[in-house]
Structure 1
């Protein structure tokens, strides 16, 4: 290999996505790379230019990406050494949507897409990186007012749930494609495509795919005069068509399109061309799905400048949850994704408040409590939070508290605009009671736990489910230390918490019928939150404190952990874990359907199968109740 190519390979291996390739692979790529010298202000490509056959990496200097809107140039991004740009030709056929210009004398490497494509098709990490970079370079498809695609990649790679989600994330696609028989005349097919505003038609026999004809075929084969418009469509179709099963994931679909260099995939009953057509997936479907990818959403959250922008992202999370549930993605997985995104929104809301108010006068922690503290917030329910700031000198206390109270007011106000309602019980950091110093919080937890009866009017068990959303981890750890110090040999506290957990009304009557609401606006509906989910949540919290399990707040995860900690009762715990997911799914579907908290289920709208499924999910609760009674020797309930 020549020394220039060797030097280029050495350079690339330091940067994503090239760091996911072997040095041998990079060496192959490096030999086909062109080195482009750009003088200051030289334009490499601009809006509406035809796509190049390469994408680019900055080797030195700075390249700016910009768009012109309303006769004004808007800077979208600055690409510095190691940044990739111009990857549109990988994923789209339309022209460039931004301008790339050298801000100073720069050197860029042009990497031919034909050389690089095979490495993408065989490497999910590289694909994910390019997909995410492209998705954030694409205009937000839902935000029609925002004509400028400000959401461009800053090459920060979200490592959390990304790879897993790419393979879980399903696609929405066209389930009623145009279908024609092989003998149909091209002119008629073209007219049909035009009337239906579709850019493709499937050629099939007995509803099984033989091939596909697209706009591209019409342009390259008919418009050029190679074939007359009167021939049968089978003469110009692309065949065989690439087929997939209907639960294909985003990443799998993208890999197949890259591998076979096609723009459409045909969805069939069993994923082969010998079974019934169910629909067609286009490149555009992939771009739309990618815009709701968690990694992309989190990047966009980090750059949001207002509650309005954050609200649009939260709306997209609702779409993602809806699609995921419809496609039967495991609820436990959806909890993980949703909680990461909710957490990022809360964090950004705090950051925006700090940007307005100026730097905090002391270190602090913003803790989410309740459902978000347990990573169980799929619906837009109310917000629960506390703010803890580090201890400061007595003469500074008032000013410091005043700052954090303003910060909390501003943050909860932002979250309300995004769609998280204010907590009706006032369990929020914007309440003077729940915004105080670490010492005050330690006293608070001490009081609750050492004398729970005295403080029963104030104690709320949700304060024992918390997760740090912003700030100092050490502050959260200090609260956990106090909680777990106080649980030791504290039968009074467990007696109180145990009775509280068992105080909820039973979900089923003696005759195994649902106990529904007797009166009010939800008459004859089933309160799935209070009667079904809360006993499981309260029971799991009680046992987690008893077993001194730190750091696991999610109800489902807690029950799974109990099965390991207390194997004698593992069957009860595992049944409760499963029941919790089933009940959560019922509540989420109800909430999404009615755009509310999903608390009250209209049993008349459920099928017989669903009613039985719901009833079966309530059965483990009786065993859990008996277990709690015997473990904590609880005999009386008030």
Structure 2
């Protein structure tokens, strides 16, 4: 009779390295020796300086944290399919880290005595483990180290390296290589360059680059009569060829051209003349790449004369965003740069629309960006949320004043729509009279929300309270912020209702941290990244920062970082929330760019195991911050 349990173990193990390198019969034999261990949450698996067990472990369900006890930090978290505790056995050493369960777990304990013979007979298995130990990662072939969420571990100091924003962008080069041999007549080369619309011809021998002829060579050596069109490539080509690797940044390419006083670089597989050429990089290619630099983009935005001219510049922002994500730039910096560009687009549209108005604004006003743009978290082309507040006017002038600003707002929202910001489905835009009113009108509106905090009122206030000024009078915005805090202080029960709303979003995970997906509708079986992860974190940050009477900080991770300063006893969880939010926003942005949508709904079958595990690591943080909210604001009182 077959051992069905061992077969289940084998089916699990073969899905993950290093076991996936074993033959089926080897996995089945090994699985018969495996012990199944159940551990409660926060239970020790092994401790520092403990003699290594005669088994190592792989996580079947749950998660295990590896702690550096001396530094009191979590070095790594082992998720489904990860192995741990093997290195000490191979090194015949004691444990250097403490392994403790993050939640209830099912572990497979694998006897090292049964595993050791497989290392000798399986070269791939041995190589994998050697590589993983050398690189200090469990999977050396993953794109980023497991201990870091979505690779958000890149660090640099932008104040010390002002060129970094250029440097991180890969240059785009011409890949449609046209080449000839050294005996080809110049006349033929000129004809081919004209036909293919290229500025340089590569000269090769045995498919390796030996020279290059550019437009400049034709001008200086042929047009001047120095050589006739019947001369050969060998006579006028620049040789030896200056080559570089195909992976180059804008700054590296600029420096290479300046250093060698040339206008074209030949890019090869390994960066030398001993490998096949893959492309030619020209100064024009660099200029095109420079167009994706934020400072160049913003200058271009400010010079536009029409909304139509803004559209391609706004599109270039997405290319810039892709470059930053590919280079693993910290999400906090990426968000600030993209938000600045978005803000520049908004300002320029407002300026252009003001020029189309017959009269100047009758009174001072301010344009407020709300929602994700107000929080400086709008990475992709999502819908617009905005409002317009203007100075108080006498009652008999209110109607005509509002009509002026409504006309202006309709032009502005139309312009924003033209460059890629969809209209808000709920009509929460300044073109709606409700969101285009005087400072007193907004005060009355917020007082109603705060004093009558029903579900609809709370939802409206949440979007509105995440505002930032995009254009106009600072005093109006400061006045409104001051009034909001004053009203909240008078009606503290409002924060309890806001806290209650922060707990309404469903949990991201179910039993054993399985993803909770949509049960029906258009996005059935998909995971709602916004509602189940990002919104709970941003909602919690908002109510906590408001409880400290602080305005002027609308960004979610900056709110958590400020909270960490204000509440040192909760510093760890607040910083964890800051990190988790940035990681999740980065993940959503990547998904949106890959799938050409908002990145909100995720098809789990398209994610790698690593991506799923990294997502799950944020769930614990979400649960902890919601527990803190529930206890602090006594949400049960209103339920």
Bin for the TM-score computed over the shorter chain: 0.5 to 0.7
User: Do structure 1's residue 442 and structure 2's residue 443 form an aligned pair?
Assistant: yes
Post-superposition CA distance 1:580-603 (Å, at most 9, x none) = 222222222332333332211112
How many Å separate the matches in 1 of 2:183 and 2:312? 45
1:59-208 mapped onto 2 (5 Å cutoff): 165-174=165-174, 177=177, 185-186=183-184, 190=189, 198-200=198-200
Does residue 1:421 correspond to 2:422, yes or no? yes
- The residue number in structure 2 matching 1:91 is none
* CA contact 1:210–1:241 (8 Å) conserved in 2: no
In structure 2, the partner of 1:619 is 620
Aligned 1:446-457 pairs, distance under 5 A: 446-453=447-454, 456=457
Cα gap change, 1:247/1:546 in structure 2, threshold over 3 Å: closer, same or farther? farther
Match of 2:409 in 1: 408
Is 2:595 aligned against 1:594?
yes
Q: Match of 1:53?
A: none
Q: Name the counterpart of 1:297.
A: 297
Which range moves more in the overlay, 304-313 or 416-425? 304-313
- Counterpart residue number, 1:569: 570
SS at 2:425 equivalent: coil
Greater Rg by CA: 2
Q: Secondary structure at the match of 1:416?
A: helix
Alignment partner of 1:460: what SS?
Answer: helix
- Tell whether the 8 Å contact from 2:243 to 2:271 is kept in structure 1 after alignment: no
After superposition, the C-alpha distances for 1:236-284 in whole angstroms (9 at most, x for unaligned) are 4334616367252x34432442343211235567877799866543211
1:473 is matched with which residue?
Answer: 474
Partners of 1:374 and 1:394 in 2: CA distance: 34
Offset at residue 203 of structure 1 (A)? 6.8
Give, in whole Å, the separation in 1 of the partners of 2:177 and 2:310: 35
**Distance across 1 between alignment mates of 2:563 and 2:413:** 35
1:269-418 mapped onto 2 (5 Å cutoff): 279-357=279-357, 358-418=359-419
Report how far residue 195 of structure 1 moved. Answer: 7.3
CA distance in 2, matches of 1:199, 1:267: 15
Instruction: Supply the distance in 2 between the matched residues of 1:440 and 1:600 (Cα, whole angstroms).
Output: 37
Distance (whole Å) between structure 2 residues aligned to residue 226 and residue 466 of structure 1: 68
Q: Which moved more, 1:316-325 or 1:512-521?
A: 316-325
Question: Which range moved further: 163-172 or 441-450?
Answer: 163-172
Distance 1:498 1:256, change over 3 A: same
Distance, in Å, in 2 between the alignment partners of 1:164 and 1:228 is: 45
Q: Give unpaired runs (5+ residues) of structure 2.
A: 1-158
> 2:504 aligns to what?
503
Q: Give the conservation status (yes or no) of the 8 Å contact 2:221–2:227.
A: yes
1:247–1:327 Cα contact (<8 Å) kept: no
Is 545-554 or 465-474 further displaced after alignment? 545-554
Residue number in structure 1 paired with 2:244: 243
Any idea what the Cα deviations from partners look like across 1:144-179, whole Å, max 9, x if unmatched? Answer: xxxxxxxxxxxxxxx9x9855334443222457568
Q: Does the CA-based 8 Å contact 1:213-1:238 persist in structure 2?
A: no
Distance 1:507 1:459 in 2: 24
- The alpha carbon displacement at 1:474 in A equals 0.6
Q: Please state whether the residue corresponding to 2:635 is helix, strand or coil.
A: coil
SS at match of 1:524: coil
Residues 1:262 and 1:497: Cα distance change in structure 2 (over 3 Å): same
How many residues align? The count is 476
- Is the Cα–Cα contact under 8 Å of residues 556 and 577 in structure 1 kept in the other structure? yes
Change (3 A) 1:411 1:228: closer
The whole-number CA distance in structure 2 between the counterparts of 1:457 and 1:557 is 23
Distance change in 2, residues 1:221/1:458 (3 Å) = closer
Write the distance in 2 (CA, Å) between the matches of 1:444 and 1:163: 46
Q: CA 1:162 to 1:437, structure 2 compared with 1: closer, same or farther past 3 Å? A: farther
Post-superposition shift, 1:219? Answer: 5.8
Identify unmatched segments of 5+ residues in structure 1: 1-158
**Secondary structure of 1:504's aligned partner:** coil
Change (3 A) 1:260 1:184: closer
Where do residues 216-235 of structure 1 align in structure 2 (5 Å cutoff)? 216-217=216-217, 220=220
Q: 1:278 & 1:335 partners in 2: Cα distance? A: 34
Partners in 2 of 1:339 and 1:265 — Cα distance?
34
Report if aligned partners of 2:265, 2:280 keep a CA contact under 8 Å in 1. Answer: yes
| Residue range with higher mean Cα deviation, 322-331 or 496-505 | 322-331
Residue 45 of structure 1 corresponds to none
Secondary structure at the counterpart of residue 456 of structure 1: helix
Q: Which moved more, 1:266-275 or 1:393-402?
A: 266-275
Structure 1 residues 222, 415: closer, same or farther in 2, change over 3 A?
closer
- In 2: Cα distance, 1:603 partner to 1:385 partner: 33
**How many angstroms apart in 2 are the aligned matches of 1:489 and 1:577?**
30
Equivalence for 2:551: 550
* Shift of residue 559, structure 1, vs aligned partner: 2.4
* CA distance in 2 between partners of 1:389 and 1:314 (Å): 28
Contact 2:592 / 2:599 at 8 angstroms: preserved in 1?
yes
1:529-565 Cα shifts (integer Å, max 9, x gaps): 1111111111121222223343222222222333333
Q: Which residue number in structure 2 is paired with residue 459 of structure 1?
A: 460
Superposed CA deviations along residues 359-388 of structure 1, whole A, max 9, x for unmatched, are: 011111110110110111111111111111
Please tell me the root mean square deviation across aligned C-alpha atoms, in Å. 3.5
TM-score normalised to structure 2 length: 0.66
Contact 1:335 1:378 in 2 (8 A): yes
Q: 1:254 aligns to what? A: 254
CA contact (8 A) 1:305 1:352 kept: yes
1:220 Cα shift?
Answer: 4.8
Matches within 5 A, 1:27-38: none
* 8 A Cα contact 2:185 2:233, kept in partner: no
Alignment partners' CA distance in 2, 1:353 and 1:602: 41
Q: 1:231 to 1:421 in 2, by over 3 A?
A: closer
Whole-Å separation in 2 of the counterparts to 1:394 and 1:228? 83
Name 1:99's counterpart in structure 2: none
Partner Cα distance (1:514, 1:535) in 2: 16
Equivalent position of 1:39 in the other structure:
none
Give the secondary structure class of the aligned counterpart of 1:359. coil
DSSP 3-state at the match of 1:281: strand
Distance in 2 between residues matched to 1:436 and 1:424, nearest whole Å = 20
